[in-house]
Amino acid sequence: MAYGVVKDKESSIDIFSFVNNKRKDLQDGFIKKIYHLGEGKFIFQVHSQSLKKGSFYIDVKKGICLMDAERGQDAGNLAMFLRKKFMDKKIKDIYQINFDRVVRVDFYNGSSFVMELFRDGNLIVLQDDIIEYALNPREWKNRKIIRGEKYVPPSLIDPISLSTEKKAEILEKSKASIVQTMATRLNLGGELSEEILKRAGINKDLSSVECAGRMNEIEDCLMKCLSETTENRGYVYEEEQLVSPIRLTFLNREADKVVEDFNDALQPMMEKEVKDTPENLRIRRIVENQERTIEEYKKASIANKETGVLISSHFQTMKKVLGHIKNSDQQRLSFDGFVIEVLNKDKAEKSAQISFEGRPFKLFYEKTVGENMTFYFDTSKDYLERVEGAKVAMENSIKGIQEQQVKKRKERSKYWFETYHWFFTTAGHLVISGKNTDTNEKVVKKHMGEKDLYIHADMYGAPSTVIRNEDNAEINEDEIREAATFAVSFSRAWQNGLSSGSAYWVSPLQVSKTPESGQYVRKGSWIVRGKRNYLFNLDLKLSVRMIDYRDSKIAMIYPFRENDSGCVTIIPGSRKRDKAAQEIAKKLETDTEEIMRVLPTGNLEII
């Protein structure tokens, strides 16, 4: 089941919804085969009473869902290790940790595995909470994902269980906007934070301090959003490329589709494989690194600013601390009711790392309190400037991807008939029509044969149109009417907003370039002699679809056909051609340029 919408990663509320709605299917199930598909992708086959035989699919870079996927024949060393550890073991529980993009699966024998589904992702195998294996070993100051260490989750803040007072306190201490604080400090993520604030009627750009007194309203909207996920629906927003287990009212419009099982909305994201050039993949990796860098710079800016504010708020105490650490190596100080720990001292740099009010930071003891405070404020500004620089670099990288995509599109080989307006009739005959003076000339001179038919709209300046009959089969009346409709649609009738027109057809022998004595025939024009076979009341109504032709997928525009599906139908209208082309391209999952090539000149409406 495909919905045409694919976002890059599951959000915290996506995972919350999936885990809570699918827990009953996975709990008390037995793990059978395990497959490692490479690049952080796994299948854990689960046999349970409700699933019978199901596939728990994991992509540590994207998320999780229940989905069958193609498996390799060779199990590989990692798959064999996981099978030995978990095969035939019974699942005790599956749960999300601290409303983060982290999911843990526990077994009755004390073993577990954890999926960290953010950034590059990780799959971590535990035995009694001790790490036995990590797909991507990592070390940070406060956390180590390496063999032998106790597993510590990335965030210790759970916004659901945290008390109202604690949440309000976090808001009061934050210098960022309310939406930023909720997304990062309260661990709610951007998508859910915007939705909560919209429902609470709070401007997302307000400072956190201004909103601390409205925490009860924020909590109430959070609980309503979480409760909504129990309906297990998937809301699909195509333009924003979002799927969500709740209505996203902050988008100010209804969802394009509502899927009855949220898992079905997640599957397209997992199934999509981006086929990129090596250069594109290289640029994408750069963009991902730049995104991480931007987040790190933002956090560093906030942390430095908060340290500056802390020093400013305790100016006299800091003055005493500076005077003491300059002349003493004492490691525990007490001033003004505060206990300060001196963690280390760097005499070369003339600084000391201290811990004050639970916050570690550096003080330069040869500088004044004001100079230390200014240092942190300036450093905060410096990181903000780096954010802007990184954003520009990322935009340039994205532009590089787009240029690569344009280049890739241009590399598609064009077929000779794409020089003209064209389509294939219901019986399979190719119809071509001139686009300009040169192609009007060539349609007849170069491509019209004795068994073909010549068609022209009953309007001055209309294009010459030919039904080609290379197989010498009979051209039926329906095909002639289709071609005549096509000829009228690509005449001035469309630009003039007419709803119908007329055309005529003749045999190739009636079409000539030889004028009567004293007359002149311009380039692209032809003289038609003899009886003309007219067709009237031809509706200006066209459809666009993607067709498979040889090794390519190309856009074809053709006269409207009853009971047709998988197409987009248009008529003359007031909508700008380029804007309509973008919408058609999106519906047909192709690029706008592909659609622009086939549309008639003039405005239109999609019906």
Spell out the SS3 assignment of 176-205.
CEHHHHHHHCCCCCHHHHHHHHHHHCCCCC
User: Is the pLDDT reported for residue 326 higher than 50?
Assistant: yes
pLDDT tens track for 136-166: 998 887 899 999 999 999 988 899 999 999 9
Burial class (CB in 10 A: 0-12, 13-18, 19+), 454: buried
Angle made by CA atoms 267, 269, 271, in degrees to the nearest 5: 65
For residue 389, the model assigns a pLDDT of 85
Rounded Cα distance between 388 and 404, Å, is: 24
For residue 275, the model assigns a pLDDT of 41
Kind and range of the H or E run holding 161: none
For residue 279, the model assigns a pLDDT of 54
pLDDT tens track for 576-601: 998 899 999 999 988 888 899 999 98
CA 569 to chain centre: 27
Average pLDDT over residues 500-523: 82
- Give percent of the chain above pLDDT 70: 91
Contacts of 414 (CB under 8 A, 6+ apart): none
CA 11 to chain centre: 12
Strands of 41-48's sheet in order across: 30-38, 41-48, 52-59, 63-66
- pLDDT tier, 73 (very low <50, low <70, confident <90, very high otherwise): very low
Q: Taking Cα atoms as reference points, which of 488, 509, 493, 534 lies closest to residue 444?
A: 509
User: Is the pLDDT reported for residue 368 higher than 80?
Assistant: yes
Q: What single letter denotes the amino acid at residue 533?
A: N
User: Is the pLDDT reported for residue 283 higher than 70?
Assistant: no
For residue 553, the model assigns a pLDDT of 87
User: Is the pLDDT reported for residue 291 higher than 60?
Assistant: yes
Tell me the pLDDT of the chain averaged across its residues. Answer: 88
pLDDT tens track for 200-257: 999 998 999 999 999 999 999 999 999 999 999 999 887 777 899 999 999 888 888 8
Range of 67-81, 277-291, 333-347, 397-411 with top mean pLDDT: 333-347
Residue with tokens 């709209």, as numbered in its chain:
457
pLDDT tens track for 394-409: 777 666 665 655 555 5
User: Positive or negative CA dihedral for 594, 595, 596, 601?
Assistant: positive
Q: What single letter denotes the amino acid at residue 571?
A: I
Q: Which domains does the chain have, with CATH numbers?
A: 12-145 (2.30.310.10), 164-271 (1.10.8), 282-382 (no CATH), 412-418+425-488+502-536 (no CATH), 541-607 (no CATH)
Rounded Cα distance between 195 and 207, Å, is: 17
For residue 142, the model assigns a pLDDT of 82
For residue 75, the model assigns a pLDDT of 57
User: Is the pLDDT reported for residue 3 higher than 70?
Assistant: no
User: Is the pLDDT reported for residue 571 higher than 60?
Assistant: yes
Average pLDDT over residues 179-202: 92
Average pLDDT over residues 494-500: 91
- pLDDT tier, 393 (very low <50, low <70, confident <90, very high otherwise): confident
Residue with tokens 């002349």, as numbered in its chain:
327
Q: Around Cβ 407, how many Cβ atoms within 10 Å? A: 12
- pLDDT tier, 72 (very low <50, low <70, confident <90, very high otherwise): low
| CB 228 within 8 Å of CB 246 | yes
Range of 224-228, 343-347, 460-464 with top mean pLDDT: 224-228
- Give percent of the chain above pLDDT 90: 62
* End-to-end Cα distance, the chain: 25
| CB 302 within 8 Å of CB 175 | yes
Rg over CA atoms, the chain: 34
- Lowest mean pLDDT: which of 218-222, 284-288, 344-348, 417-421? 284-288
Average pLDDT over residues 73-102: 88
Rounded Cα distance between 182 and 222, Å, is: 11
Torsion of CA 580, 583, 586, 591, to 10 degrees: 30
| pTM for this prediction | 0.49
For residue 340, the model assigns a pLDDT of 93
- pLDDT tier, 366 (very low <50, low <70, confident <90, very high otherwise): very high
